[in-house]
Amino acid sequence: MLQSISISNYALIDSLHIQFESGFNIITGETGAGKSIILGALGLMLGQRADTTVLRDKTRKCVVEGTFAVQGYGFESFFETEELDFDDTVIMRREITVSGTTRAFINDTPVNVKVLRDLGLQLVDIHSQHQNLELGNNHFQLKLVDLVAANAGLLNEYTENYSRYRKIQTELKELEELAAKSRTDLDYYEFQFKQLDEARLKENEQSELEEELEMLNHAEEIQVSFGKIAHELEGEELNILSKIKEMLNQINHIKDYFGEANELYNRLNSCYLELKDIASEAVSISEKTGNNPEKLELVSQRLDLIYSLQQKHRVTSVAELIEIYRELDQKIQQVSSYDGQIETLKASLQQLQNELDGQCARLRDARKAVAGTIAEKVVSVLRELGIINANFSVRFTELDDFTGSGKDQVNFLFSANKNSPPEDISKVASGGEMSRLMLAIKTLVTDAKALPTIIFDEIDAGISGEIAIKTGQIISRLSETIQVINITHLPQIAARGTHHYLVYKYDEDDRTNTSIRKLDQQERVVELAKMLSGENYSETALEAARELLN
C-alpha cells in the first residue's frame, strides 16, 4: 500500500508530505483546490510523462517521492529481474531538473523511467473518468479477464514464444524477399561469373603481357640492334674480341718479367670474357627475335579482353577482377543456400505456431472459465447500484492470427433494460452507467488481489442520492482487501471513508499554494456539512453530516 508521498516544487505545491493509511482513504476539496495536481504528481512518480512546465520555481528541481509497503505481493521476481535490492518497503522517487531532464530511483538506485513505470503499474491502479472510456476498448476488456483468470504465468510463456514467432516471421519475410531479388539477379551473376571464369585470369599477367606486346611491336628494331652488337664484337670486318685476344697475348709475353702486367692482364681478360658473353647473348636475342604476327595477335587479343573486363567492371587491375570473380562466386553460392535457410525458418515457424496454438487454447479455456463469474459479479454490483435489470456477458471471438495476447477478442456486452439483448458497452452504456460498470469491474480487480492500492478519481461522476450511498458501501467493502484512495465530491461517499484528507489552497506572500491535511472527527463533520450545503452550512447540515458518519 501507499504509505506516504512527499512533493516539492510541483505546480502550486511548494512542499508537502502526507501519510496514508490502509483501508478507505477519502480525499475531498473544493473544485480547483488542487486534487488533480496531487494526482498528477503521483502519476509523475509512477512513471508518467514529465516536462518543466510543472516546476513551480524554475531555479530548482522538482522531487516527488512515495513510500510503499509491498510485503506479500510477490514483487521479489521483478526486483531480481531488474537487478534491484528488494525490501518490504519500496521508495520510488522522480526528479525533474531545471534543464528538463528527469531522473528516476527505486530504493535510491537509479533506474530508467520504463522500470519505474512497470513497477508503478503493479503497485497502483489510478482510475480516472478518462478510464471509463477505456472500458469499451477490447484490449482493456481482455486484460481484465486475464487478471481475474490469473493468467500472468500463461501470458508470460505465450509472449516469449510470440516474440520469437514474430522475429522469425520478419527474418523469413526478409530472406524470401532477398532470395526473390537474388534469383532475379542470378542470371546476371552467372553471366558475369562465366566471363571471368573463362578468362582464366592470373595475378601479374597484365604487366607481363604489356611488356611482351612492347617487345613484339619493336621486334625488328631489337633484332637489328642486337645483331649489330654481335657483328661488332665477333664480325669478320671488325672483330673487337679478336683484337682484345691479341692484346692479351702481348701482355702474356711480358708478365713474367714485368709484375704490373699481371694486373692489367687479369682486368683485360675479364673484359674479354664479359664481351664474349654479351656477344653470345646478342646473337641469341637476335636469332629468336623477329616478326611474329601470330604471337602479336594473341597477346593483343588477351590484353583487349583484360581491358574490356576492367572497363566493364570499372576497375584498373587484374587483381580487382579476380576479387570480383570471387565475390560473384559467393553470391551465386549464397542464392543457392537461400532455399535451405528458408526451409529451416519455415520449420521453426511451424514448430512455434504449434506451441502457440496450444498456449492460445489454454488461455482461452482459462478465460472462458471465469466469464460466468465475471458476469455474475458485475450484474450483482450493478443491481446493487440501482441498475435492476442489468444484463452483462462476455463474448469471445477467435481471431485468425496470433496477437500479443493470444487469438481471442473479448467483448463486454451490456444491457440496462428488461428484455433488451446485451450489446457492446461502447454503444449502449450512458455516462452514469459507464461509471457504475467501471466500479463493478474494479471489484473484480480487488477480488483478484492483484494490486496493493487503487485510486478512484471521481468514479462517482454522474450518480447521486441512494446510488451514491450504495457506491460508498461497495467501495468501503473493496477497502477491506485493498487500500483505496478515493477523490470525491459526494458526501454520501466521503462519509464512508475510514480516513479523510482535505486538499486546500492558501495564500502566502504573493503566491497561492496547494496543500493537504488529514482531518480529525470534528473537522470531518464540518467538511461534510460544507459538501452538503456549502460554505454557509447550518446546524441542520452539521446534524446530517454526523448522521452520515454514524
pLDDT the model gives residue 331: 76
Residue pair 463/492 in contact (Cβ under 8 Å)? The answer is no
Confidence (pLDDT) at 130: 60
Separation between Cα atoms, residue 365 and residue 337, nearest integer Å: 43
- The CA-based dihedral angle spanning residues 374, 376, 378, 384, taken in that order and rounded to the nearest 10 degrees: -160
User: What pLDDT sits at residue 510?
Assistant: 84
Are the beta carbons of 186 and 332 closer than 8 angstroms?
yes
Q: How far apart are CA 226 and CA 88, in angstroms?
A: 104
* Residue 550 to residue 545: CA distance in whole angstroms: 9
Residue 68: partners with Cβ closer than 8 Å, 6 or more residues away: 1, 2, 3, 89, 90, 91, 92, 123, 452, 453
Question: Residue 287's pLDDT is what?
Answer: 65
Q: Look at residue 238 in the predicted model and tell me its pLDDT.
A: 62
**CATH code of the domain occupying 1-131+451-519:** 3.40.50.300
- pLDDT at residue 225, as a whole number: 76
What pLDDT, on the 0 to 100 scale, is given for residue 550? 84
pTM as predicted: 0.65
Q: Count Cβ atoms below 10 Å from residue 34 Cβ, excluding itself.
A: 23
Per-residue pLDDT, 52 = 79
Contact 94/116 with Cβ under 8 angstroms? Answer: yes
What pLDDT does residue 545 have? 93
The per-residue pLDDT for 18 is: 94
> What integer pLDDT is reported at residue 218 of this predicted model?
67
Q: Phi and psi dihedrals of 489, rounded to 5? A: -110, 0
Q: What single-letter amino acid sits at 10?
A: Y
Mean pLDDT of successive 10-residue stretches along the chain, which has 550 residues: 94 93 93 89 90 88 94 85 90 92 93 92 79 73 89 90 93 87 73 82 81 72 73 71 83 80 86 85 72 75 84 87 86 76 91 95 95 93 90 93 93 90 83 81 72 83 79 89 91 93 90 93 94 89 91
The pLDDT of residue 400: 92
Location of each CATH 3.40.50.300 domain in the chain: 1-131+451-519
